[in-house]
Amino acid sequence: MSARTSPASAQSAAAPPFLTEPVEDYLKAIYELETRTGAAATTDVANALQVAPASVTGMIRRLAAQGLLDHVPYRGVQLTEMGRRAALRTIRRHRILETYLTQVLGYAWDRVHDEAERLEHAASDDLIERMSAALGHPTVDPHGAPIPTADGTVDERNHRTIADLTVGETVRMLRVSDKDPELLRYLAEIAMQPGVSITLLQRAPFDGPLTLRVGSGEQVVGSTLAAQVLVESLPVPEASASDAGSPSTRPRSARKSSR
Amino acid sequence: MSARTSPASAQSAAAPPFLTEPVEDYLKAIYELETRTGAAATTDVANALQVAPASVTGMIRRLAAQGLLDHVPYRGVQLTEMGRRAALRTIRRHRILETYLTQVLGYAWDRVHDEAERLEHAASDDLIERMSAALGHPTVDPHGAPIPTADGTVDERNHRTIADLTVGETVRMLRVSDKDPELLRYLAEIAMQPGVSITLLQRAPFDGPLTLRVGSGEQVVGSTLAAQVLVESLPVPEASASDAGSPSTRPRSARKSSR
DNA sequence: TGAAATATTTAGGGCGTGCTAAAATCACGC
DNA sequence: GCGTGATTTTAGCACGCCCTAAATATTTCA
Ligand SMILES: [Mn+2]
Ligand SMILES: [Mn+2]
Ligand SMILES: [Mn+2]
Ligand SMILES: [Mn+2]
């Protein structure tokens, strides 16, 4: 309270000034809310981190004082460049860890999130880069989420979900949230994994169940599940026209996320 | 402070009640001091953890209240069975992590300690056991320290050091402390690693340098270094008598450490 | 355009872990 | 046995992160 948020001064400093585990988790949560909805509200952060709203206000004050975010009282927060870099660093660690645990140590994809949630704060940059190298520098994690590069670049396009498909459309599954182990277990059961091809065969009215072809099988899923699975159009199904097409739908191209 | 330390109640509870990172480090440090010198003094713990003695007193009060150790004021502390189990769990994690980092991820042996010092608090039991399995359940870490088993058994014999050898004696290097990276780098340089055979060729008077055969090379080392390298006698050099011998010097047999 | 509902911040604590300075206790040599 | 230096504990405080209750600001909608 006594020290007014330091004037300009915090611009080019590249060295991270050591962030605690709670701070890293706040920044990560704010980053994710911000990219989804433009800004992060106190309540949303509180929900994401399972803490009381008053605790969020307190933490926000400290983070703003450190130059990690800008806070307009009653209006929400936005990360500064420094805050964004710190968030992406933690997200990179988290996703490389999840990939490593899955691919090298045989974890099921519904078990990696909790483990990575802790390890992301304890692993050194060196360890993370070694894991990344051991994996051949993967670009997506086991749930299909893009892995930011070490210099803070990440593919941040918004994707459609199965719920957005028109009947008859065939797409490729890209991604699903890593936060709900039960959902992940169920998806694995019905063979819905990133990369699999999905066709919407039928949609019942009034937000009813959707009938899908998933790989070579057929599944009926609810609309809640459908809305959580991100997909992308197949790059020109099997026609001969190979150029025009929808321009922004090339698979997996990294793009600078400079907001 | 208001709540008086709970009466007896804390005896057979096997479930660890979640220990914080500082608590795990205190227990580990106390365990190590205790096995070396019988009991842990406040000052020693303070030195080991690089905190003020008054901080140690405060922590000791809390740990005693939780039943993790017994404290006789002005006399030092001793771990309870619960405290000892918690300490050995952390030590197991630490040593498996060091082994994994070295053997799987290519870390040099002087870099693993700091990394393990943090990861030991964040890794789940599941992760540790997967790493152990991936390594074929190793029994010693990269510095030759024995790895406690999951049920709290560890080989705790005291070993001689190079400084204890008589001229002409040949031994096998067992272990060296993992705490001094510079020492470890130097040892690697002169090919002194656990398992290597060492012969004391010559010893200068007045605590002077020792001339050693290390593997196939020859080295001159100071007495400080010599005192830090633990060794064991070779199991009956190359005679035909295969039975009698010194009874307690069989290599690497695990022994219950019930104090 | 207000009043009710909702979101956010402030006020006032708690707990864990650290610190310094001062007091108390212990250990040892004379 | 006793003084003195070393060790240990107590007292008092700071900081980070969390909480609940109460106050305040914003949004919504009758
Ligand atoms: Mn995750
Ligand atoms: Mn986390
Ligand atoms: Mn170590
Ligand atoms: Mn540690």
- Residue B3's pLDDT band (cuts 50, 70, 90): very low
Q: What's the CA gap between B146 and B141, in Å, rounded?
A: 6
Cα–Cα nearest to A133, from A150, A116, A109: A150
B119: chain A residues, CB-CB within 8 Å: 119, 122-123
Given a cut of 60, whether residue B117 has pLDDT beyond it is: yes
Superfamily designation of domain B160-233: Ferrous iron transport protein A (FeoA) (2.30.30.90)
Nearest to B106 among A115, A118, A130 (CB): A130
Count of beta carbons in the 10 Å neighbourhood of residue A52: 10
Nearest to B215 by CA among B201, B238, B199: B199
pLDDT-based confidence at B239, cuts 50/70/90?
low
Distance CA B196, CA B203 (A): 20
pLDDT confidence of residue A17 = 76
Chain D, protein-covered positions (CB within 7 A)? 7-12, 16-22, 25-26
What pLDDT does A238 receive?
Answer: 54
**φ and ψ at residue B216, rounded to 5 degrees:** -105, 0
Mean pLDDT of chain B: 88
- Contact between residue A40 and residue A33 where contact means Cβ atoms under 8 Å apart: yes
Q: What is the pLDDT along chain A (259 residues), one digit of tens a residue?
A: 333 333 333 344 445 679 999 999 999 999 999 998 888 999 999 999 999 999 999 999 999 999 999 999 999 999 999 999 999 999 999 999 999 999 999 999 999 999 999 999 999 999 999 999 999 999 999 999 999 999 999 998 999 999 999 999 999 999 999 999 999 999 999 999 999 999 999 999 998 999 999 999 999 999 999 999 999 998 765 555 444 433 433 334 334 343 3
**Which residue has tokens 């009653």?**
A74
Domain boundaries, chain A: 1-158, 160-233
CA A21 to ligand 2 center in whole angstroms: 6
Q: Nearest-CA distance from B146 to chain A in Å? A: 23
Interface subset of B 134-153, CB within 8 angstroms of A = 134
Q: Residue A185's closest CA among A113, A115, A135, A96? A: A113
Fold of A1-158: Arc Repressor Mutant, subunit A (1.10.10)
CA(B60)–C1'(C21) in Å? Answer: 20
Nearest to B199 by CA among B228, B235, B175, B173: B173
pLDDT-based confidence at B8, cuts 50/70/90? very low
pLDDT at A2: 34
CB A101 within 8 A of CB B127: yes
Q: Is B152 left (phi over 0), alpha (psi -120 to 50) or beta?
A: left
**Averaged over B102-124, what is the pLDDT?**
98
Strand C contact nucleotides, protein CB < 7 Å: 7-12, 15-22, 25-26
Chain B residue nearest residue A119, CA to CA: B122
Q: What pLDDT sits at residue B237?
A: 53
Average pLDDT over residues B200-223: 95
- Do residues B109 and B124 touch, judged by C-beta distance below 8 A? no
Domain B1-158 shares a fold with domain B160-233: no
Question: Residue B255: its pLDDT value, please?
Answer: 41
C-beta atoms of B122 and A124 within 8 A? no
* A127/A106 Cα distance (integer angstroms): 19
As a whole-number percent, the residues of chain B with pLDDT over 90 amount to 80
